[in-house]
Amino acid sequence: MSEDRSRILNLLAGGKITPEEAERLLGALDARTSAAEAPAGPAIKGDPGPLVAALPKYLYVKVNASNGDNVDVRIPIALVRSGLKLTSLIPQQAMDQINDSMSQHGMSVDFSNFKPEDIDELVAALREMEVNVDAKNGDTVRVYCA
Amino acid sequence: MNVPPLILDVRVASSRRRPVHLWLPLFLLWPLALALGALALVFAIVADGVLLALGRRYHHHTVLLVRSLEALSEARGTVIRFSNETTAVDMTVQ
């Protein structure tokens, strides 16, 4: 069994992807391996397009307020990744001001803790994240990737 | 690096006024931004060189500038929609 195939099956076994997604990824993998195989080369051979296309590309934030106000934001995940990479380059003095301002608004997040080597892992985890908030007053907030 | 945002599409629909559709050609700003960016890049390289020679810990202004442009280029596809009972605003970066 190839490493890619076992990785997909592990993701399925771990509940990180649905059976439909696993089927789609395995199908893409089969299509790729049926193409001409080189005896040696990179870990991902052939066209990675189907695999890449299967990944979510956007982060969605949807807010429906009970008073009728609706906010719907779609952000490219590539922008999130670039933004996170940028935080590691911001001078410490500016970062302290950002952190202070964020904590004053109720968000105690220390952006200086984001290390460049962790960002890809963070973005990969973000793709699987889903947040659903249903407030008592009828407000709903949904954050997900698709 | 991707192609930077070229168009900002803004639609405003209101029950009280006529709908407005603005098509803002951001690509017209890019020649000016390119000139300013090139100037800023020169200053950043010189500043980083001086800071590095002085032994300062932070000397990443050039990388910060390049990464900022990279982040800006990734903004294509961003959509912001707001609506209430009377007004709907839709902004798309293309």
pTM: 0.68
Pair A104, A120 in one domain: yes
Residues A85 and A136 in one domain: yes
A2 CB burial (10 A radius; 0-12, 13-18, 19+): exposed
Can you give the pLDDT at residue B88? 94
- For chain B, what is the domain count? 1
Sign of CA dihedral A98, A100, A105, A108: positive
Q: How many other CB atoms sit within 10 Å of the CB of residue B21?
A: 10
Contact B2 A81 (CB under 8 A): no
User: Does residue A106 share a domain with residue A51?
Assistant: no
- Domain holding B12, by residue range, is 7-93
Q: Domain of residue A137: give its range.
A: 56-146
d(CA B48, CA A91): 13
* pLDDT computed for residue A129 by the predictor: 84
A93, A27: one domain: no
Is residue B2 domain-resident?
no
C-alpha span between A52 and B22 (Å, rounded): 33
For residues A87 and A142, state if they share a domain.
yes
Does B84 reach chain A within 8 Å, measured CB to CB? yes
Is A84 found in the same domain as A62? yes
Q: Considering A55, A72, A89, which residue would you say is the last residue of a domain?
A: A55
Whether residue B80 is contained in a domain is answered as yes
Mean pLDDT confidence for A39-49 = 61
Predicted pLDDT of residue A3: 73
**Does residue B1 lie in a domain region?**
no
The pLDDT of residue A34 is 63
Count of structural domains, chain A: 2
Q: Is A32 helix (H, G, I), strand (E, B) or coil?
A: helix
Would the pLDDT of A1 be above 90?
no
- What is the reported pLDDT for A63? 94
Top mean pLDDT of A30-39, A83-92, B52-61 is at B52-61
Answer whether residue B66 is part of any domain: yes
- Same-domain check for residues A43 and A82: no
pLDDT value for A28: 76
Banded pLDDT at A55 (limits 50, 70, 90):
confident
**Residue B58 contacts A where some CB pair is shorter than 8 Å:** yes
Size of interface A-B (CB pairs under 8 A): 59
* Residue of B75, B80, B82 lying closest to A79 (CB–CB): B75
Classify the complex by whether its ipTM is higher than 0.90, answering yes or no. Answer: no
Contact B84 A69 (CB under 8 A): yes
